[in-house]
Amino acid sequence: MKENRKYWAQRLLALIVAVALVSVACTQVPVTGRTSLQLVSQGELASMASQQYSEVLKQSTLSTDKEKTAMVERVGMRIAKASEDYLRENGHEELIETFQWEFTLIEDDETVNAWVLPGGRTAVYTGILKHTQTETGLAVVLGHEVAHAVAGHGNERVSQGLLTQLGGAALAVALSQRPSETQQLFMAAYGVGAQVGVLLPYSRLHEREADRIGLILMAKAGYDPREAPAFWQRMGKENGARPPEFLSTHPTPDTRISDIQELYLPEALPYYEGAGRGK
């Protein structure tokens, strides 16, 4: 009987701890306002991401094309600045210091992909440039990927893994005393240690949020968001029935383009006009 009471007391304690952690670790996603579970500090997550980013670069061939490399850095930094301006203007200034933006072009024409890790470390693969075609096309891609970082999608994914695999009291111990547990779950959430150039896909909810936020960021950076549908049409034709990694869990091209034209562009265009651009 005593053992039974002890068991249920431990279960209750774990539940109380889990509820407390969830209640204090929920934050709102910029732009959409959706409540997001983020159990790991942005600083800690950025530190783990930095380590993995270094490993990816060691295993990759960096582009020596100065013009393309400069374009990636230029577009990336313009969108990064726009994201920081947006965060500052909308009451999320505390997030800005967690980003140390870095934009790297990796020479790999077979990989049609780009990604941003928590903290702002970014990789673009040369394989996607044939689809971006222009600087504005690249802004569509980097706006989308920076949006994942600004929205804390990586933190949410790692947090869900922590809560599912460890749970309750064990989670509190892992976060405070067993950082290796968090590191392992970061690896599991991103997959960056398994195969260079492949990160595990975000959920479709995250992808739609990144589409919406990304258009605002590129528009605020002075890139015309009306170029986005044409880019997604080009991407939709890639590899026929087998989409590239960049489209792994994205909505279908028709759905995406419809959402962009009907829902997201009307919201993003005022930012483009406010950046000194016209119709």
Residues marked active site are found at 145
3-class secondary-structure state, position 101 = coil
- Listed as own residue / partner, the contacts of 50-53 with beta carbons closer than 8 Å and 24 or more positions apart are 50/100, 50/117, 50/119, 50/121, 52/117, 52/186, 52/187, 52/190, 52/192, 52/193, 53/102, 53/117, 53/121, 53/123, 53/192
Contact of 100 with 46, CB cutoff 8 Å: yes
Q: What's the Rg (C-alpha) of the chain?
A: 20
Burial of 140-176, coded b for 16+ CB within 10 Å and e otherwise, reads bbbbbbbbbbbbbbbbbbbbbbbbeebebbbbbebbe
CB atoms within 10 A of CB 222: 17
